[in-house]
Amino acid sequence: MILKRNFSVPFGVILVFSCVGNVVAQETPQEEKTPQEEKWCEGRGGATADLQIRGCTTVIQSGRETTTNLAIAFYNRGTAYSAKGDYDRAIQDYDQAIRLNPQFATAFSNRGNAYSAKGDRDRAIQNYDQAIRLNPQHAIAFFNRGKAYSAKGDKNRAIQDYDQAIRLNPQHAQSWSNRCWTRAVAGQLDGALADCNKSLRIAPNDAATLDSRAFVYLKSGRLDSAISDYDEALRLSANQTAAYPYRASSLYGRGLAKQKKGDAAGAAADMAAAKTIQADIEDKFGR
């Protein structure tokens, strides 16, 4: 089965401006910032990603910010670009934030997310490595690095990073869920089931985690339990197909469970529906 668990997480908290640091002077300020634009840059005041970009651009161009605040403004704008899927611009802004503040661990972690979104897992891991070196308590950096290792097929390193993320933040449901999936793929079914159950206790009714637990049940031969979880995952995601990238997996997995129970018609219907969503789901499920 394909290593599919790559839950999206926020690219990082939006940071507010500090009142310390050295003033960064520009010869000709391009714009005078307003309190509203500063709020937008900080993600406040009802800011959309576009408004946040506008606000941070004004802050950056004002020529009146400290080095610390300027790094934060680039970081926040990079986060807004990431939210829009403009990862190249996001990386450029994270570059600037890191140039101004080389100790900016969260900027390294977010730049890793942007590289990961572009499919460059190796550069993503390099950035997560640096974030963790700067802040060994950075739970999300461990979590994100675990996702990158999982995407590269390195299950052992992925599990080790999820271990650290869970140690640092035991209430982070996605770390438990991702470790569940990775353990299931690795054949560690008892541990995987315990992880999925823990994740669901923290965040009940999560369709992706139910899909993962269903896969554990499927591999364990607990077919009724697998079908029940697949049913619930599909019910919860019925109105959010675009936001739930595992719908094809849930359908195909349920089809396999039905097939093993002798329900040929039900299996064929589910598998056919899965293939209309993702044509290569059979091959990926086989792997």
CA angle 261/264/268 to nearest 5° reads 120
CA distance 221 to 216: 9
Between residues 2 and 105, the one the model is more confident about: 105
pTM, 2 dp: 0.85
Element (H, E) at 105: helix 105-117
Between residues 23 and 116, the one the model is more confident about: 116
Between residues 45 and 231, the one the model is more confident about: 231
Contact 17, 69 (CB under 8 A): yes
152 pLDDT higher than 70: yes
Overall average pLDDT of the 149-174 stretch: 97
Q: How many CB atoms lie within 10 A of CB 112?
A: 28
Q: Given this model, what pLDDT does residue 124 score?
A: 98
Residue 66 three-state SS = strand
Q: How many CB atoms lie within 10 A of CB 111?
A: 32
Q: Given this model, what pLDDT does residue 154 score?
A: 96
pLDDT grade, residue 286 (50/70/90)?
confident
Architecture of the CATH domain 192-287: Alpha Horseshoe (1.25)
Q: Given this model, what pLDDT does residue 10 score?
A: 43
Overall average pLDDT of the 195-212 stretch: 96
Percent of the chain exceeding pLDDT 90 equals 74
Instruction: Give, in order, the Cα–Cα distances in Å from 108 to each of 9, 60, 90.
Output: 15, 20, 12
Q: Given this model, what pLDDT does residue 16 score?
A: 54
Q: Given this model, what pLDDT does residue 219 score?
A: 96
Q: Given this model, what pLDDT does residue 62 score?
A: 86
Q: Given this model, what pLDDT does residue 146 score?
A: 98
Q: Given this model, what pLDDT does residue 225 score?
A: 98
137 pLDDT higher than 50: yes
Q: 153: phi > 0 → left, psi -120 to 50 → alpha, else beta; which?
A: left
pLDDT digits (tens, 9 = 90+) for 80-110: 999 999 999 999 999 999 999 999 999 999 9
CA distance 2 to 281: 9
CA distance 179 to 75: 29
